[in-house]
Amino acid sequence: MTGLRLMVAILVDTAIEAEIEIDTLIIGGGAAGLTAALAACEAGSSVLIAERETVLSGSTALSSGLIPAAGTAIQLEQSIEDTADIFYSDIMAKNKNKADPDYVRRIVTQIPKTIDWLTAAHNIPFIVLDNFLYPSHTNHRMHAVPEVTGSGLIERLEVAVRAQDITIVTDLQITDLVVTAQGEALGAYCQRPDGSQESIAARSIILACNGYGGNPELVAQYIPEMHDALYFGHPGNQGEAIIWGQQLGAEIAHLSGYQGHGSVAHPHGILVTWALMMEGGIQVNRLGKRFSNEHQGYSEQAVSVLAQPDRIAFNIFDERLCELGRSFEDFRVAEEAQAIIRANTPAELAEELGINPDDLTETLAECSAFSQSGEADSFGRIFNLEKQLIPPFCAVRVTGALFHTQGGLVVNEKAQIYRDDRSVFTSLFACGGAACGVSGPDVSGYLSGNGLLTALSLGHMAGSAAAERCLD
Protein backbone atom coordinates (compact mmCIF):
# COMPACT_ATOMS: atom_id res chain seq x y z
CA MET A 1 0.00 0.00 0.00
CA THR A 2 3.01 2.27 -0.27
CA GLY A 3 2.10 5.59 -1.81
CA LEU A 4 -1.52 5.41 -0.66
CA ARG A 5 -2.04 8.61 1.31
CA LEU A 6 -5.03 8.27 3.64
CA MET A 7 -6.52 10.63 6.18
CA VAL A 8 -6.17 9.26 9.69
CA ALA A 9 -8.12 10.32 12.73
CA ILE A 10 -9.00 9.71 16.35
CA LEU A 11 -12.64 8.70 16.85
CA VAL A 12 -14.24 8.94 20.29
CA ASP A 13 -16.90 6.37 21.19
CA THR A 14 -18.12 4.16 24.00
CA ALA A 15 -17.56 0.91 22.13
CA ILE A 16 -16.60 -0.51 18.75
CA GLU A 17 -18.39 -3.19 16.78
CA ALA A 18 -15.62 -5.25 15.31
CA GLU A 19 -15.09 -8.35 13.19
CA ILE A 20 -11.89 -9.09 15.09
CA GLU A 21 -11.26 -8.94 18.84
CA ILE A 22 -7.73 -9.01 20.21
CA ASP A 23 -5.90 -8.13 23.41
CA THR A 24 -3.05 -6.19 21.82
CA LEU A 25 -3.10 -4.51 18.42
CA ILE A 26 0.33 -3.58 17.08
CA ILE A 27 0.38 -1.05 14.24
CA GLY A 28 3.52 -1.64 12.19
CA GLY A 29 5.50 -4.78 11.38
CA GLY A 30 9.07 -3.52 11.51
CA ALA A 31 11.67 -4.36 14.14
CA ALA A 32 9.81 -2.47 16.89
CA GLY A 33 6.45 -4.08 16.16
CA LEU A 34 7.86 -7.59 15.83
CA THR A 35 9.79 -7.27 19.09
CA ALA A 36 6.68 -5.92 20.83
CA ALA A 37 4.66 -8.86 19.52
CA LEU A 38 7.12 -11.40 20.93
CA ALA A 39 7.08 -9.71 24.33
CA ALA A 40 3.29 -9.39 24.47
CA CYS A 41 2.76 -13.00 23.44
CA GLU A 42 5.26 -14.22 26.00
CA ALA A 43 3.35 -12.32 28.69
CA GLY A 44 0.10 -14.09 27.77
CA SER A 45 -1.59 -11.58 25.46
CA SER A 46 -3.32 -12.38 22.17
CA VAL A 47 -1.64 -10.25 19.49
CA LEU A 48 -2.36 -8.96 15.99
CA ILE A 49 0.24 -7.12 13.91
CA ALA A 50 -1.29 -4.79 11.31
CA GLU A 51 1.14 -3.96 8.51
CA ARG A 52 0.22 -1.61 5.67
CA GLU A 53 2.69 -3.19 3.21
CA THR A 54 2.50 -6.55 1.49
CA VAL A 55 5.69 -7.77 3.19
CA LEU A 56 7.27 -6.88 6.50
CA SER A 57 10.18 -4.51 6.14
CA GLY A 58 10.01 -1.00 7.54
CA SER A 59 13.00 1.30 7.88
CA THR A 60 14.93 -1.54 9.50
CA ALA A 61 15.14 -3.47 6.22
CA LEU A 62 16.79 -0.47 4.55
CA SER A 63 19.42 -0.15 7.27
CA SER A 64 22.55 -2.11 8.12
CA GLY A 65 20.61 -3.67 10.99
CA LEU A 66 23.11 -2.66 13.69
CA ILE A 67 21.88 -2.43 17.28
CA PRO A 68 24.13 -0.78 19.87
CA ALA A 69 24.03 -2.38 23.31
CA ALA A 70 26.38 -2.45 26.27
CA GLY A 71 26.77 -5.33 28.69
CA THR A 72 25.39 -8.19 26.59
CA ALA A 73 26.34 -11.85 26.79
CA ILE A 74 27.80 -11.79 23.28
CA GLN A 75 30.05 -8.85 24.18
CA LEU A 76 31.34 -10.88 27.10
CA GLU A 77 31.93 -13.87 24.82
CA GLN A 78 33.98 -11.65 22.51
CA SER A 79 35.92 -10.23 25.50
CA ILE A 80 34.54 -6.72 24.97
CA GLU A 81 34.36 -4.72 28.19
CA ASP A 82 31.49 -2.25 28.11
CA THR A 83 28.83 -0.91 30.45
CA ALA A 84 25.50 0.85 30.26
CA ASP A 85 27.11 3.82 32.04
CA ILE A 86 29.69 4.24 29.28
CA PHE A 87 27.04 3.87 26.59
CA TYR A 88 24.84 6.41 28.37
CA SER A 89 27.70 8.88 28.43
CA ASP A 90 28.33 8.38 24.71
CA ILE A 91 24.68 9.07 23.85
CA MET A 92 24.45 12.15 26.05
CA ALA A 93 27.73 13.55 24.76
CA LYS A 94 26.51 13.16 21.17
CA ASN A 95 23.17 14.88 21.82
CA LYS A 96 24.91 17.54 23.95
CA ASN A 97 22.70 16.65 26.93
CA LYS A 98 19.55 17.70 25.06
CA ALA A 99 17.76 14.37 25.54
CA ASP A 100 15.95 13.43 28.74
CA PRO A 101 18.66 11.74 30.85
CA ASP A 102 16.27 9.47 32.72
CA TYR A 103 14.75 8.31 29.45
CA VAL A 104 18.17 7.60 27.93
CA ARG A 105 19.17 5.71 31.06
CA ARG A 106 16.07 3.48 30.80
CA ILE A 107 16.81 2.71 27.15
CA VAL A 108 20.48 1.78 27.63
CA THR A 109 19.59 -0.35 30.65
CA GLN A 110 16.88 -2.19 28.71
CA ILE A 111 18.67 -2.94 25.44
CA PRO A 112 21.16 -5.59 26.68
CA LYS A 113 18.26 -7.43 28.31
CA THR A 114 16.39 -7.35 25.01
CA ILE A 115 19.35 -8.62 22.97
CA ASP A 116 20.02 -11.46 25.41
CA TRP A 117 16.31 -12.34 25.54
CA LEU A 118 15.98 -12.50 21.76
CA THR A 119 18.93 -14.88 21.67
CA ALA A 120 17.92 -17.09 24.59
CA ALA A 121 14.15 -17.19 24.07
CA HIS A 122 13.86 -16.86 20.30
CA ASN A 123 17.11 -18.24 18.90
CA ILE A 124 18.13 -15.03 17.17
CA PRO A 125 21.94 -15.07 16.99
CA PHE A 126 23.98 -11.88 17.26
CA ILE A 127 27.59 -10.96 16.66
CA VAL A 128 29.37 -7.78 17.70
CA LEU A 129 31.28 -5.98 14.95
CA ASP A 130 34.75 -5.48 16.39
CA ASN A 131 36.93 -4.41 13.43
CA PHE A 132 36.07 -0.71 13.59
CA LEU A 133 34.28 1.89 15.74
CA TYR A 134 31.40 4.03 14.56
CA PRO A 135 31.64 7.80 15.29
CA SER A 136 31.47 8.71 19.01
CA HIS A 137 31.12 5.13 20.25
CA THR A 138 33.68 4.37 22.94
CA ASN A 139 33.50 0.59 22.59
CA HIS A 140 32.58 -2.10 20.10
CA ARG A 141 28.87 -2.54 20.78
CA MET A 142 27.18 -2.81 17.38
CA HIS A 143 25.18 -6.04 17.41
CA ALA A 144 24.10 -7.63 14.15
CA VAL A 145 22.59 -10.87 12.96
CA PRO A 146 25.07 -12.97 10.90
CA GLU A 147 23.82 -11.46 7.63
CA VAL A 148 24.82 -7.97 8.89
CA THR A 149 21.77 -6.48 7.19
CA GLY A 150 18.54 -4.92 8.35
CA SER A 151 16.60 -7.24 6.09
CA GLY A 152 18.28 -10.20 7.78
CA LEU A 153 17.20 -8.88 11.18
CA ILE A 154 13.60 -8.48 10.01
CA GLU A 155 13.56 -11.98 8.52
CA ARG A 156 14.80 -13.53 11.75
CA LEU A 157 12.33 -11.58 13.87
CA GLU A 158 9.49 -12.59 11.56
CA VAL A 159 10.48 -16.26 11.83
CA ALA A 160 10.41 -15.94 15.62
CA VAL A 161 6.99 -14.25 15.56
CA ARG A 162 5.46 -16.83 13.25
CA ALA A 163 6.86 -19.60 15.45
CA GLN A 164 4.63 -18.22 18.23
CA ASP A 165 1.56 -18.33 15.94
CA ILE A 166 1.13 -14.57 16.28
CA THR A 167 -1.30 -13.17 13.73
CA ILE A 168 0.26 -10.94 11.07
CA VAL A 169 -2.09 -9.16 8.68
CA THR A 170 -0.45 -7.38 5.74
CA ASP A 171 -1.94 -4.92 3.24
CA LEU A 172 -3.92 -3.46 6.12
CA GLN A 173 -3.86 0.30 6.61
CA ILE A 174 -5.06 1.53 10.01
CA THR A 175 -6.98 4.74 9.34
CA ASP A 176 -8.70 5.56 12.63
CA LEU A 177 -8.03 4.79 16.26
CA VAL A 178 -11.17 4.43 18.35
CA VAL A 179 -10.84 5.58 21.96
CA THR A 180 -13.02 6.41 24.93
CA ALA A 181 -13.67 9.98 26.05
CA GLN A 182 -10.68 9.53 28.35
CA GLY A 183 -8.48 8.53 25.40
CA GLU A 184 -8.21 4.83 26.22
CA ALA A 185 -8.07 2.20 23.50
CA LEU A 186 -11.17 0.57 22.07
CA GLY A 187 -9.80 -0.53 18.69
CA ALA A 188 -9.24 0.68 15.16
CA TYR A 189 -10.77 0.95 11.71
CA CYS A 190 -8.77 -0.33 8.77
CA GLN A 191 -8.75 -0.19 5.00
CA ARG A 192 -7.68 -2.75 2.43
CA PRO A 193 -6.07 -1.90 -0.95
CA ASP A 194 -9.42 -2.50 -2.70
CA GLY A 195 -11.09 0.09 -0.44
CA SER A 196 -12.94 -2.37 1.76
CA GLN A 197 -13.21 -1.56 5.47
CA GLU A 198 -12.50 -3.70 8.53
CA SER A 199 -12.59 -3.09 12.26
CA ILE A 200 -10.54 -4.47 15.15
CA ALA A 201 -11.41 -4.29 18.86
CA ALA A 202 -8.36 -4.14 21.14
CA ARG A 203 -7.68 -3.57 24.82
CA SER A 204 -4.19 -2.20 24.17
CA ILE A 205 -2.73 -0.50 21.08
CA ILE A 206 0.98 -0.23 20.36
CA LEU A 207 2.04 2.36 17.80
CA ALA A 208 5.07 0.88 16.03
CA CYS A 209 4.53 2.72 12.74
CA ASN A 210 7.78 4.72 12.78
CA GLY A 211 8.08 8.44 12.10
CA TYR A 212 7.16 10.89 9.37
CA GLY A 213 10.10 10.81 6.96
CA GLY A 214 7.90 9.63 4.07
CA ASN A 215 5.48 12.55 4.48
CA PRO A 216 6.84 15.54 2.50
CA GLU A 217 4.45 17.98 4.16
CA LEU A 218 5.59 17.07 7.66
CA VAL A 219 9.26 17.03 6.62
CA ALA A 220 8.88 20.55 5.19
CA GLN A 221 7.23 21.68 8.42
CA TYR A 222 9.65 20.21 10.95
CA ILE A 223 12.98 19.69 9.14
CA PRO A 224 12.90 22.10 6.19
CA GLU A 225 16.62 21.72 5.50
CA MET A 226 15.89 18.15 4.30
CA HIS A 227 12.72 18.88 2.35
CA ASP A 228 14.41 18.49 -1.04
CA ALA A 229 16.92 15.84 0.02
CA LEU A 230 16.84 12.22 -1.05
CA TYR A 231 14.59 10.24 1.28
CA PHE A 232 16.22 6.90 1.99
CA GLY A 233 13.70 5.56 4.47
CA HIS A 234 10.56 3.51 4.11
CA PRO A 235 7.80 5.32 2.18
CA GLY A 236 5.22 3.96 4.62
CA ASN A 237 6.56 6.30 7.34
CA GLN A 238 3.72 8.78 6.93
CA GLY A 239 3.59 10.17 10.46
CA GLU A 240 0.33 8.56 11.59
CA ALA A 241 1.61 8.31 15.17
CA ILE A 242 2.34 12.03 15.24
CA ILE A 243 -1.05 12.92 13.75
CA TRP A 244 -2.94 10.66 16.15
CA GLY A 245 -0.88 11.97 19.06
CA GLN A 246 -1.64 15.58 18.21
CA GLN A 247 -5.36 14.81 18.06
CA LEU A 248 -5.19 12.99 21.38
CA GLY A 249 -3.34 15.80 23.15
CA ALA A 250 -0.27 13.63 23.67
CA GLU A 251 3.12 15.00 24.62
CA ILE A 252 5.38 15.17 21.57
CA ALA A 253 9.04 16.16 21.54
CA HIS A 254 12.05 16.76 19.30
CA LEU A 255 10.24 16.71 15.96
CA SER A 256 13.23 18.56 14.48
CA GLY A 257 15.50 15.60 15.28
CA TYR A 258 16.38 13.07 12.60
CA GLN A 259 18.95 10.68 11.24
CA GLY A 260 20.62 11.77 8.07
CA HIS A 261 23.37 10.01 6.15
CA GLY A 262 26.14 11.56 4.12
CA SER A 263 27.00 8.48 2.10
CA VAL A 264 24.32 7.22 -0.26
CA ALA A 265 25.71 6.25 -3.66
CA HIS A 266 24.18 8.49 -6.32
CA PRO A 267 22.37 7.90 -8.60
CA HIS A 268 22.47 4.23 -7.57
CA GLY A 269 20.62 4.76 -4.27
CA ILE A 270 22.83 2.37 -2.30
CA LEU A 271 24.10 2.99 1.22
CA VAL A 272 27.91 3.03 1.42
CA THR A 273 29.11 2.11 4.90
CA TRP A 274 30.63 4.88 7.02
CA ALA A 275 33.20 2.38 8.27
CA LEU A 276 35.29 3.44 5.26
CA MET A 277 35.50 6.99 6.64
CA MET A 278 36.30 5.83 10.15
CA GLU A 279 39.15 3.66 8.93
CA GLY A 280 40.94 6.23 6.79
CA GLY A 281 38.63 7.36 3.99
CA ILE A 282 37.82 10.99 3.20
CA GLN A 283 35.08 12.97 1.48
CA VAL A 284 35.76 15.67 -1.12
CA ASN A 285 33.48 17.91 -3.16
CA ARG A 286 33.53 18.69 -6.89
CA LEU A 287 36.43 21.05 -6.23
CA GLY A 288 38.53 18.19 -4.86
CA LYS A 289 38.46 19.72 -1.37
CA ARG A 290 37.46 18.24 1.97
CA PHE A 291 34.74 20.21 3.75
CA SER A 292 34.31 18.67 7.21
CA ASN A 293 35.56 16.28 9.85
CA GLU A 294 34.29 12.93 8.59
CA HIS A 295 34.66 11.44 12.07
CA GLN A 296 32.03 13.63 13.72
CA GLY A 297 29.12 11.52 12.48
CA TYR A 298 27.40 10.39 9.32
CA SER A 299 24.06 11.89 10.35
CA GLU A 300 25.12 15.54 10.38
CA GLN A 301 27.36 14.81 7.39
CA ALA A 302 24.19 14.61 5.30
CA VAL A 303 23.71 18.35 5.79
CA SER A 304 27.37 19.04 4.97
CA VAL A 305 27.20 17.01 1.74
CA LEU A 306 24.00 18.69 0.64
CA ALA A 307 25.71 22.07 1.07
CA GLN A 308 28.34 21.19 -1.55
CA PRO A 309 28.15 22.08 -5.26
CA ASP A 310 25.43 20.03 -6.98
CA ARG A 311 24.63 18.50 -3.54
CA ILE A 312 27.13 15.71 -4.07
CA ALA A 313 30.46 14.52 -2.68
CA PHE A 314 32.94 11.76 -3.41
CA ASN A 315 34.07 9.13 -0.90
CA ILE A 316 37.79 8.48 -1.48
CA PHE A 317 39.33 5.27 -0.15
CA ASP A 318 41.63 2.42 -1.25
CA GLU A 319 41.70 -1.32 -1.78
CA ARG A 320 42.37 -1.99 1.91
CA LEU A 321 39.10 -0.28 2.73
CA CYS A 322 37.33 -2.11 -0.08
CA GLU A 323 38.04 -5.31 1.80
CA LEU A 324 36.42 -3.85 4.90
CA GLY A 325 33.47 -2.60 2.83
CA ARG A 326 32.84 -6.05 1.41
CA SER A 327 31.83 -7.27 4.86
CA PHE A 328 28.64 -5.25 4.30
CA GLU A 329 26.06 -6.43 1.78
CA ASP A 330 25.26 -2.89 0.59
CA PHE A 331 28.87 -2.30 -0.39
CA ARG A 332 28.96 -5.55 -2.33
CA VAL A 333 25.80 -4.45 -4.12
CA ALA A 334 27.45 -1.10 -4.92
CA GLU A 335 30.43 -2.90 -6.43
CA GLU A 336 28.15 -5.09 -8.53
CA ALA A 337 26.35 -1.94 -9.73
CA GLN A 338 29.74 -0.52 -10.78
CA ALA A 339 29.31 2.44 -8.45
CA ILE A 340 32.94 2.06 -7.26
CA ILE A 341 35.52 3.82 -9.44
CA ARG A 342 39.20 2.80 -9.36
CA ALA A 343 42.42 4.47 -10.52
CA ASN A 344 46.16 4.08 -9.92
CA THR A 345 46.92 7.73 -9.14
CA PRO A 346 45.08 10.73 -7.66
CA ALA A 347 45.25 12.47 -11.05
CA GLU A 348 43.70 9.50 -12.85
CA LEU A 349 40.98 9.22 -10.21
CA ALA A 350 40.25 12.94 -10.52
CA GLU A 351 39.85 12.60 -14.28
CA GLU A 352 37.32 9.79 -13.75
CA LEU A 353 35.39 11.92 -11.25
CA GLY A 354 35.47 15.18 -13.21
CA ILE A 355 37.65 16.90 -10.58
CA ASN A 356 40.70 19.05 -11.25
CA PRO A 357 43.62 16.60 -10.91
CA ASP A 358 45.87 19.10 -9.14
CA ASP A 359 43.25 19.82 -6.49
CA LEU A 360 42.57 16.18 -5.60
CA THR A 361 46.30 15.39 -5.64
CA GLU A 362 46.90 18.27 -3.24
CA THR A 363 44.10 17.15 -0.90
CA LEU A 364 45.43 13.59 -0.68
CA ALA A 365 48.93 14.89 -0.10
CA GLU A 366 47.66 17.06 2.75
CA CYS A 367 45.95 14.05 4.37
CA SER A 368 49.17 12.06 4.04
CA ALA A 369 51.12 14.88 5.69
CA PHE A 370 48.67 14.95 8.61
CA SER A 371 49.05 11.17 8.91
CA GLN A 372 52.82 11.64 9.20
CA SER A 373 52.66 14.51 11.70
CA GLY A 374 49.85 13.23 13.89
CA GLU A 375 48.46 16.75 14.14
CA ALA A 376 44.78 17.59 13.81
CA ASP A 377 43.68 19.24 10.57
CA SER A 378 41.65 22.46 10.38
CA PHE A 379 38.42 20.47 10.92
CA GLY A 380 39.77 18.75 14.03
CA ARG A 381 40.32 15.31 12.49
CA ILE A 382 43.41 13.33 13.44
CA PHE A 383 44.73 11.01 10.73
CA ASN A 384 46.27 7.64 11.62
CA LEU A 385 49.56 6.79 9.92
CA GLU A 386 48.60 3.11 9.72
CA LYS A 387 45.34 3.99 7.97
CA GLN A 388 46.57 6.48 5.38
CA LEU A 389 45.32 5.92 1.84
CA ILE A 390 47.68 4.29 -0.64
CA PRO A 391 47.27 3.59 -4.37
CA PRO A 392 45.38 2.23 -6.13
CA PHE A 393 42.58 4.56 -5.08
CA CYS A 394 38.82 4.08 -5.11
CA ALA A 395 35.88 6.45 -5.08
CA VAL A 396 32.09 6.54 -5.11
CA ARG A 397 29.79 9.47 -5.89
CA VAL A 398 27.38 10.12 -3.00
CA THR A 399 24.69 12.47 -1.80
CA GLY A 400 23.16 13.28 1.57
CA ALA A 401 19.88 11.69 2.55
CA LEU A 402 17.16 11.67 5.18
CA PHE A 403 16.86 8.24 6.78
CA HIS A 404 14.29 8.55 9.52
CA THR A 405 12.95 11.03 12.02
CA GLN A 406 13.85 10.96 15.71
CA GLY A 407 11.08 13.04 17.26
CA GLY A 408 7.84 11.52 18.42
CA LEU A 409 5.50 10.62 21.25
CA VAL A 410 6.94 10.89 24.75
CA VAL A 411 6.60 7.68 26.73
CA ASN A 412 7.15 6.53 30.30
CA GLU A 413 9.04 3.54 31.71
CA LYS A 414 6.35 1.18 30.32
CA ALA A 415 6.34 2.85 26.89
CA GLN A 416 2.89 4.27 27.68
CA ILE A 417 2.21 7.57 25.94
CA TYR A 418 2.15 10.74 28.03
CA ARG A 419 -0.57 13.35 27.76
CA ASP A 420 0.45 17.00 27.66
CA ASP A 421 -0.33 17.22 31.39
CA ARG A 422 2.03 14.28 32.09
CA SER A 423 -0.70 11.82 32.92
CA VAL A 424 -0.58 8.68 30.79
CA PHE A 425 -2.82 6.83 28.41
CA THR A 426 -2.77 3.46 30.16
CA SER A 427 -3.72 1.49 27.04
CA LEU A 428 -1.77 3.39 24.36
CA PHE A 429 1.92 2.64 23.80
CA ALA A 430 4.61 3.78 21.36
CA CYS A 431 7.93 2.32 20.29
CA GLY A 432 10.54 2.71 17.57
CA GLY A 433 10.21 5.79 15.40
CA ALA A 434 6.69 6.51 16.67
CA ALA A 435 8.23 7.39 20.05
CA CYS A 436 10.63 10.20 20.78
CA GLY A 437 14.21 9.00 20.31
CA VAL A 438 17.35 9.64 22.35
CA SER A 439 19.06 11.98 19.87
CA GLY A 440 17.64 15.30 21.00
CA PRO A 441 16.25 17.94 18.64
CA ASP A 442 19.21 18.18 16.23
CA VAL A 443 20.60 16.04 13.43
CA SER A 444 24.01 16.15 15.11
CA GLY A 445 22.61 14.39 18.17
CA TYR A 446 22.15 11.10 16.34
CA LEU A 447 24.58 8.45 17.57
CA SER A 448 25.01 5.54 15.18
CA GLY A 449 22.36 2.92 15.88
CA ASN A 450 20.00 5.13 17.90
CA GLY A 451 17.09 4.12 15.67
CA LEU A 452 17.23 0.38 16.26
CA LEU A 453 18.24 1.01 19.87
CA THR A 454 14.81 2.46 20.63
CA ALA A 455 13.00 0.13 18.21
CA LEU A 456 14.00 -3.01 20.10
CA SER A 457 14.21 -1.67 23.64
CA LEU A 458 10.88 0.18 23.55
CA GLY A 459 9.28 -2.66 21.58
CA HIS A 460 10.22 -5.06 24.36
CA MET A 461 8.95 -2.67 27.05
CA ALA A 462 5.72 -1.85 25.21
CA GLY A 463 4.83 -5.45 24.46
CA SER A 464 5.33 -6.58 28.04
CA ALA A 465 3.41 -3.64 29.51
CA ALA A 466 0.54 -3.89 27.01
CA ALA A 467 0.06 -7.54 27.84
CA GLU A 468 0.21 -6.83 31.56
CA ARG A 469 -2.46 -4.20 31.18
CA CYS A 470 -4.72 -6.60 29.26
CA LEU A 471 -4.36 -9.26 31.92
CA ASP A 472 -5.22 -6.97 34.82
Q: Is 63 within 8 Å of 451 (Cβ atoms)? A: yes
Q: Report d(CA 172, CA 201) in Å as an integer.
A: 15
* CATH class of the domain comprising 9-257+406-471: alpha beta
Q: What is the pLDDT of residues 338-372, one digit of tens each?
A: 999 999 999 999 999 999 999 999 999 999 999 99
Domain 259-402 belongs in CATH node 3.90.700.10: yes
Q: What is the pLDDT of residue 132?
A: 87
Is residue 192's pLDDT more than 60? Answer: yes
The residue ranking higher by pLDDT, 61 or 87, is: 87
Q: For the chain, what are the domain ranges? A: 9-257+406-471, 259-402
Is residue 112's pLDDT more than 60? Answer: yes
Is residue 3's pLDDT more than 70? Answer: no
The closest of 247, 217, 212 to 8, measured between CA atoms, is 247
pLDDT average, residue stretch 175-188: 96
Please tell me whether residue 147 adopts helix, strand or coil conformation: coil
Q: What is the pLDDT of residue 20?
A: 92
Instruction: State the chain's mean pLDDT as an integer.
Output: 95
Is residue 472's pLDDT more than 90? Answer: no
Q: Report d(CA 385, CA 40) in Å as an integer.
A: 51
Q: What is the pLDDT of residues 366-424, one digit of tens each?
A: 999 999 999 999 999 999 999 999 999 999 999 999 999 999 999 999 999 999 999 99
Is residue 171's pLDDT more than 70? Answer: yes
Is residue 9's pLDDT more than 90? Answer: yes
Cα torsion 125, 131, 135, 139 to 10°: value is 70
Q: What is the pTM of this model?
A: 0.94
What ranges make up the beta strands (E) of 15-136?
20-27, 47-50, 67-68, 127-128
Please tell me whether residue 344 adopts helix, strand or coil conformation: coil
Q: What is the pLDDT of residue 470?
A: 80
In this structure, which amino acid lies at residue 173? Q
Give whole-number Cα distances, 307 to 26, 125, 267, 301, 357, in Å: 39, 41, 17, 10, 22
Q: What is the pLDDT of residues 142-166, one digit of tens each?
A: 999 999 999 999 999 999 999 999 9
Please tell me whether residue 232 adopts helix, strand or coil conformation: coil
Q: What is the pLDDT of residue 6?
A: 58
